[in-house]
């Protein structure tokens, strides 16, 4: 009894050759666009370079904003922005490790951000929220505790900015 496998080999080879010869043949109907690169009609920095990021009042919000500026608009704020990003960051602490004397020695530091992206006309194009959590220990030295809390807030702000950047790039009108 002969196997039908030898007859299929030429068809497989032909299909592979066509797929390699015409790269868009298999992905012709796919709507894939570059997330970070350029497209025709856009600058080399991509559509995110046209976002102006509004100032934020508090320290942690300012850190998030600085990270967003560095990642979305590395060339600086655009002279003629297409979009304006406004954000608000709230900080909260939750005790994690509580001793027998009701003294907490470890805390979670949670950052919650809400943000809105508007076009030139002031119409909201996208809004969302993101969260990040850091933790720190409370030790006998007050300075060490303040430093640990600040470091946890800085790291959570970096993670929060990456989450916001990803959400914006995925939902930015193209």
Q: What pLDDT score does 22 carry? A: 58
Q: What pLDDT score does 173 carry? A: 73
Q: Are 114 and 129 in contact (CB under 8 A)?
A: yes
**Beta-sheet strand order (sheet of 51-53):** 51-53, 83-98, 104-119, 124-137
Q: What pLDDT score does 43 carry? A: 43
Look up residue 88 and give its two tokens.
Answer: 């608000």
List average pLDDT for each run of 10 residues in the chain, which is 174 residues long.
58 66 54 51 61 93 95 85 95 88 89 95 95 94 94 97 95 79
Confirm whether pTM is higher than 0.75: no
Q: What pLDDT score does 18 carry? A: 62
d(CA 104, CA 137): 9
Q: What pLDDT score does 172 carry? A: 85
Query: Which bin fits 41, alpha (ψ -120 to 50), beta or left (φ > 0)?
Result: left
Contacts of 160 (CB under 8 A, 6+ apart): 64, 89, 111, 113, 130, 131, 132
Look up residue 42 and give its two tokens.
Answer: 């856009």
- Burial grade of 130 (CB within 10 A; 0-12, 13-18, 19 or more): buried
Name the fold adopted by 46-171: Double Stranded RNA Binding Domain (3.30.160)
């Amino acid at each position: 009894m002969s196997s039908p496998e030898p007859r299929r080999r030429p068809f497989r080879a032909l299909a592979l050759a066509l797929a390699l010869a015409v790269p868009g043949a298999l992905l012709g109907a796919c709507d894939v666009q570059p997330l970070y690169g350029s497209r025709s009609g856009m600058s080399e920095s991509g559509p995110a370079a046209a976002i102006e990021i509004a100032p934020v009042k508090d320290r942690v919000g300012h850190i998030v904003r600085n990270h967003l500026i560095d990642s979305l608009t590395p060339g600086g704020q655009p002279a003629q922005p297409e979009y304006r990003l406004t954000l608000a960051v709230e900080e909260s602490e939750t005790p994690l490790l509580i001793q027998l004397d009701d003294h907490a020695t470890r805390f979670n530091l949670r950052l919650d951000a809400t943000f809105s992206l508007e076009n030139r006309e002031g119409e909201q194009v996208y809004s969302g929220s993101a969260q990040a959590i850091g933790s720190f220990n409370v030790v006998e030295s007050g300075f060490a505790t303040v430093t640990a809390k600040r470091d946890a807030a800085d790291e959570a702000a970096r993670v929060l900015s990456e989450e916001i950047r990803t959400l914006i790039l995925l939902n930015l009108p193209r």
